[in-house]
């Protein structure tokens, strides 16, 4: 085991017994939602995973230790501290660990730590991707590179609709990352169920997802698998409404000089404001839906 890694007793017991475990990120706690909604949501996601037969392993960096499985007190700490906790991507881990600092893990770093711990399935909201205007800014999320090199299945509601979805799919294709639609042939766009872009394969059951991932690993592929699970229809937002909010948020970000890793948290928070909080409720519901699918798939993978 990595010398900097701490696996909680509950998660370690489950892994040693070959029981299903699902990893969860912590950026959504510290940077994705306001307190106390962030803590309530994190605990509800863990509960959803348990109700579907798996053990949750929320991941973060605390005091320079890579944590796979957080206590309720640690989740509360991340939620209360909010953006006072560093947003930690791949490049940040060595510095945070060396300085014994705290970090909320993105998709990329959650994948890294999950793989270290032996956890193969990870549920999140939406992945990062190629930002709009990336042909000029070169702003491309490290999440995509991690999917290309770390063998973890990521269950999400597609790429965040603040991104350039077409270029994100092209990038994933170049890197050889299979994009699977769970019950859909069209890439979901986080707040909405349709994007106008197709996925590589449609899968309709956790058992089929598990079989595909098991085969990918048996073939010796080093990369991961992206499962895109549409937001439940009753919580999906009107496409015209959310597109207008995103365009306004993008204009605001440009006017305020927001860039780099602050871009996504700013845009998501601004969209929440512009939609009167409706997008936050949609965000919560899609995360719970992804947690359910991930837990069922982890259970099938262990079966």
Give the closest residue to 223 by CA, choosing from 181, 179, 254. 179
User: Which residues is 243 bridged to in the sheet?
Assistant: none
Q: β-pairing, 103-105 with 153-156?
A: unpaired
Interacting residues of 284 by C-beta distance below 8 A, sequence separation 6+: 33, 37, 41, 44
The residue from 67, 87, 160, 299 that is catalytic is 160
Is residue 160 part of the annotated active site? The answer reads: yes
CA distances from 188 to 143, 232, 274 (A): 17, 11, 21
Q: Measure the CA–CA gap between 290 and 52, rounded to whole angstroms.
A: 11
CA distances from 139 to 131, 135, 164, 262, 286 (A): 6, 8, 11, 12, 25
The residue from 25, 74, 76, 146 that is catalytic is 25
Q: Measure the CA–CA gap between 61 and 6, rounded to whole angstroms.
A: 10
Asked whether the beta carbons of 159 and 231 are under 8 A apart, the reply is no
Is residue 239 part of the annotated active site? The answer reads: no
Half-sphere exposure of 84 (CA within 13 A, CB side): 7
Q: Measure the CA–CA gap between 255 and 17, rounded to whole angstroms.
A: 53
Active site residues: 25, 160
């Amino acid at each position: 085991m990595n010398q900097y890694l701490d696996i909680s007793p509950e998660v370690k017991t489950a892994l040693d017994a070959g029981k299903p475990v699902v990893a969860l990120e912590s950026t959504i706690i510290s940077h994705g939602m306001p307190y106390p909604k962030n803590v309530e949501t994190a605990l509800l996601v863990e509960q959803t995973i348990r109700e579907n037969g798996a053990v949750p392993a929320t991941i973060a960096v605390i005091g320079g230790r890579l944590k796979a499985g957080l206590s309720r007190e640690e989740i509360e700490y991340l939620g209360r501290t909010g953006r006072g906790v560093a947003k930690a991507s791949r490049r940040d881990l060595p510095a945070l660990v060396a300085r014994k600092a705290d970090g909320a893990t993105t998709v990329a770093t959650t994948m890294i730590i999950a793989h270290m711990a032996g956890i193969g399935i990870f549920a999140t909201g939406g992945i990062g991707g190629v930002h709009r205007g990336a042909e000029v800014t070169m702003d491309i999320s490290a999440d995509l590179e991690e999917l290309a090199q770390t063998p973890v299945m990521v269950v999400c509601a597609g790429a965040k609709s603040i991104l350039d979805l077409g270029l994100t799919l092209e990038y994933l294709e170049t890197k050889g990352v299979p994009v699977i639609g769970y019950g859909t042939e069209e890439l979901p766009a986080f707040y909405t169920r349709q994007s106008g872009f197709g996925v590589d394969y449609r899968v309709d059951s956790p058992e089929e997802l598990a079989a595909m991932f098991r085969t990918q690993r048996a073939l010796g592929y080093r990369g991961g698998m992206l499962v895109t699970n549409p937001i439940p229809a009753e919580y999906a937002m009107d496409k015209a409404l959310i597109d207008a909010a995103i365009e306004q948020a993008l204009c605001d970000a440009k006017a305020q000089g927001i860039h780099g890793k602050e871009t996504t948290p700013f845009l998501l928070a601004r969209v929440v404001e512009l939609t009167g909080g409706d997008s936050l409720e949609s965000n919560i519901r899609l995360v719970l839906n992804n947690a359910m699918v991930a837990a069922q798939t982890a259970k099938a993978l262990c079966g």
